[in-house]
Amino acid sequence: MTRAVAGAGIRRPPLRHPLRLAAALAVAALTLLPLGYVVAGVVAAGPEGVVALVWRPRVGELLRNTVTLVLLGTTACVVLGTGAAWLVERTSLPGRALWTGLMAAPLAVPAFVNSVGWYALFPGFDGLDAAVAVTTLSYFPLVYLPVAAVLRGIDPAFEELGRSLGLGPWRVVARVVLPQLRPALLGGALLVGLHLLAEFGALQSLRFDTFTTAIYDQFQSTFDGAGATMLAGVLVLLCLLLLAGEAGLAGRARISRVGSGVARRAAPHRLGAATLPAVIALSALAVAALGVPLVSLASWLVTSTSTAFPLAELAGTAATSLGLGALGALATCLLALPVAWLAVRCRGRLAILVERATYIGNSLPGIVVALALITVGIRVVPALYQSTAMLVAAYAVLFMPRAMVSLRAALAQIPPELDDVGRSLGVGPAGVLARVSVPLIARGIGAGGALVFLAVVTELTSTLLLAPIGTETLATRFWSESSELHYGAAAPSALLMIVLSAPAAWLLTRRAAR
């Protein structure tokens, strides 16, 4: 079935689309700036310097910690996200609409708020277990959402066909369902993995050090910028491993479907006596991911004497966050589009390299990305230095993968033949893109944009260093208030971040519910 048609899919050489190729290369160049900054630092340190700074016990410890966190955290997100998606989408579990909302909502809670919330209620909650638990609770929706979307959209005819050809129920899952889930699952897992590599906010109070936390530490050391850059170099290598791994596992199977008629809804599996345990499991997940941070915020509001709701200020700050989030989402999706198109439609070595290049910025700590853009920006485009445009470019470098994964998945589901049909009807290549591809992937663009928006609203370091002077966002406000220990004054900013993010999370569930 899916595989048989794959041969008919037409591989197009990228050089036949010079404009799109040029656009994709330009985007890749922008997102590679931080890598260039790291490489320049490594070269400047010289081979001896590199060995002295990298070959020491502390780096081994960080390597072990980082790899363990990425492996355990990603696995936990895959298991929880897929399990929850299956329960919600493919079983008789009552209250599907409610669960859909609750499983996406953790994306609206910034990871550092979640972390601080857990630590406040459970002091002593630290180390590897805590780091895995908190990051999983924050990021499992990145797997849940794409998997739920695919599970809901799968044509049950494929599974029935598998059964009729003699496969048992588990083999149907392994040979029919999983291959269809694979792009969504891997895309989600890749996003989680990249986030874990670059995570700082959620880990800073959990007594668990990774390369990223160590890089921040090195920047706190007066004369050790070189040490920080070296660690960032090792981090880039880990990121490349992750990217190669995902590309290797992704495969080339065609998953788009052409044909008359519409896929039926699959009949839900009857949970029967398992309904109660399933409801309890999902409720526990929701309480852990949403209840704990919200209760903590509420307790700050009650116990702190600095609690205040300066409405005008908060409204202005929220509007800035909203505006930057929307601009960041728009720009990132726009930049991701040519790269995603190239990666899906002209899949070859060059296309894969270009697409992978855009993921690296996301795995580096915000401070490294910001310093790279400062170093280049102030010299190359001084007029744009510390302008909104430059800040938005930083967001695009940092969060491109969130858009890329969504766009790529959406493009993969459109039969390439539709492009040909458009061309054969006399529409030019740009017209096909604008009138056929983009409308068909609108939901994908919406999903990618929503994911980028969620990330921009909580971004701190680049916003502090690159925003036009005087810009205050909810994240920078939360940072100042909480670092001055005014938790009551900080809580409204955190709550507003959650409120602003809720519509984006809701938009993501709309995609899942298609």
Q: Which residues bind another protein (CB under 8 A)?
A: 56-58, 61, 119-120, 123-124, 204-205, 207, 213, 216-225, 227, 300, 303-306, 316, 319-320, 322-327, 330, 367, 370-371, 374-375, 378-379, 382, 385-386, 388, 439, 442, 446, 461, 464-465, 468-471, 476, 480, 483-488
The Cα–Cα gap between 354 and 247 comes to 12
If the CB atoms of residues 12 and 486 are measured against another protein, the closer one turns out to be 486
Shortest reach from residue 488's CB to another protein, in Å: 7
Q: Helix 127-139 and helix 178-198: axis angle, to 10°?
A: 120
Give SS3 for 91. Answer: strand
Q: How far is CA 103 from CA 265, 288, 311, 403, 454, in A?
A: 21, 11, 30, 20, 15
CB atoms within 10 A of CB 357: 21
If the CB atoms of residues 229 and 358 are measured against another protein, the closer one turns out to be 229
Shortest reach from residue 480's CB to another protein, in Å: 4
Shortest reach from residue 220's CB to another protein, in Å: 5
Q: Among residues 78, 80, 103, which one has the least CA distance to residue 505? A: 103
Please give the backbone phi and psi of residue 269, each rounded to the nearest 5 degrees, phi first.
Answer: -70, 135
Structure tokens at 55: 């070959």
If the CB atoms of residues 183 and 377 are measured against another protein, the closer one turns out to be 377
Shortest reach from residue 402's CB to another protein, in Å: 17
Shortest reach from residue 380's CB to another protein, in Å: 11
If the CB atoms of residues 164 and 222 are measured against another protein, the closer one turns out to be 222
If the CB atoms of residues 14 and 377 are measured against another protein, the closer one turns out to be 377
Say if CB 387 and CB 379 are below 8 A apart.
no
Shortest reach from residue 438's CB to another protein, in Å: 9
The Cα–Cα gap between 215 and 7 comes to 47
Shortest reach from residue 128's CB to another protein, in Å: 14
Give SS3 for 393. Answer: helix
Structure tokens at 496: 């507003």
Say if CB 232 and CB 366 are below 8 A apart.
no
If the CB atoms of residues 275 and 480 are measured against another protein, the closer one turns out to be 480
Shortest reach from residue 316's CB to another protein, in Å: 7
Shortest reach from residue 233's CB to another protein, in Å: 17
The Cα–Cα gap between 88 and 472 comes to 39
If the CB atoms of residues 374 and 409 are measured against another protein, the closer one turns out to be 374
Structure tokens at 59: 């780096």
Shortest reach from residue 94's CB to another protein, in Å: 29
* Residue whose token pair is 């604008």: 434
Q: Among residues 117, 116, 487, 496, which one has the least CA distance to residue 305? A: 487
If the CB atoms of residues 91 and 205 are measured against another protein, the closer one turns out to be 205
Shortest reach from residue 508's CB to another protein, in Å: 14
If the CB atoms of residues 280 and 484 are measured against another protein, the closer one turns out to be 484
If the CB atoms of residues 284 and 485 are measured against another protein, the closer one turns out to be 485
Residue 493, Cα to own-chain centre: how many angstroms?
Answer: 23
Q: How far apart are the first and last CA of the chain?
A: 24
The Cα–Cα gap between 132 and 214 comes to 18
Residue 106, Cα to own-chain centre: how many angstroms?
Answer: 13
Q: What angle do CA 107, 28, 363 make, to 5 degrees?
A: 40
Structure tokens at 34: 């931080």
If the CB atoms of residues 92 and 387 are measured against another protein, the closer one turns out to be 387
If the CB atoms of residues 2 and 471 are measured against another protein, the closer one turns out to be 471
Shortest reach from residue 151's CB to another protein, in Å: 23
- Long-range contacts at 177-183 (CB < 8 A, ≥ 24 apart): 177/151, 179/2, 179/251, 179/253, 179/255, 180/2, 180/150, 180/154, 180/255, 181/82, 181/147, 181/150, 181/151, 182/249, 182/250, 182/251, 182/253, 183/250, 183/255, 183/408, 183/409, 183/412
